[in-house]
Amino acid sequence: MTVELEVICVGNELLIGKTMNTNANWLGKQATNLGTNVKRITVVQDSVNEIATTICEALLRKPQFIITTGGLGPTFDDKTLEGIAKALNRKLEINQKALAMVKEKCEEYAKKRQLSTTIEMTAPRVKMAKLPEKTEPIKNPIGTAPGVRVDVQGLVLFALPGVPLEMEAIFIETITPLLKQAVGDEVFCERSMFVDKMIESNLSPLIDKVMSDNKSVYIKSHVCGEFLKSHSIRVENKPHIEIHLTITAEEKEKSAEKLLKTMKELASLVEANGGLAIFEE
């Protein structure tokens, strides 16, 4: 059974272009490599209503997993947990386990800086421990704000910090084993080849035919020559279309063989129609 996953990234800075959304890129790649089907990545404002609405929409689509990033910190614009609470119609409450995690991290930081380890649990610190009821805090190995796990309607929702190193650490330690268990023996394989001397519109029907012959393989073309030219890089001797082939199946060796067979079939058609096919080393 295909394991479906959605990602919701929270942050005005992502929408206005101040911060590049590297979390979406990293999560998409990691989750795909683990064998899950990433169905959707959404970016929303630091707004309780926007977060809640987006989560409700995702719940209606019933993926097995939803991951949010950002909005767990101590500042006024960190509103993800409020949004989750509103979406699930649950109260926000101080979670004692989360509060202990926050206090422990504050003490660690103070000790490293040779400051007093008598920590005052100020309102911003307590805020990071206010979770929707019936949720489980997740230890943050790097930062202060705990992650959160919510089991709801037969799926699992994870709320992760927006700081990339913190998000990645929690994902690797906590979510990766769960995704592996859910996916089982499914593995994701990918390969690339390149095509020169052929425009994409002429290549398209060849891709359609090969995909029809190889139902389990997904093929996507990416024009790369124009992108390189826009960055003033010489591309006269470079192939200008990348063909990316992917497959998710149970046996890695057979999947790799299937990709190679599909690549060879497409390469043969490309060269029969005047193009040049170049395999990635």
CA distance linking residue 109 with residue 143, whole number of Å: 10
pLDDT digits (tens, 9 = 90+) for 263-276: 999 999 999 999 99
Q: Is the pLDDT of residue 244 over 80?
A: yes
Domains of the chain: 4-183 (3.40.980.10), 187-279 (3.30.70.1130)
| pLDDT computed for residue 281 by the predictor | 60
| Residues near 110 by beta carbon (within 8 Å), at least 6 away in sequence | 116, 117, 119
Copy the structure tokens of residue 148: 């959160």
pLDDT digits (tens, 9 = 90+) for 175-209: 999 999 999 988 899 999 999 999 999 999 999 99
| pLDDT computed for residue 237 by the predictor | 52
Question: Which pTM value belongs to this model?
Answer: 0.86
Which residue did the predictor score with more confidence, 110 or 60?
60
Q: Is the pLDDT of residue 160 over 50?
A: yes
Mean pLDDT estimate for the chain: 91
Residue 158 to residues 42, 127, 189, Cα–Cα distance (Å): 15, 18, 26
| pLDDT computed for residue 235 by the predictor | 47
| pLDDT computed for residue 232 by the predictor | 41
Q: Which residue has the tokens 């479906």?
A: 4
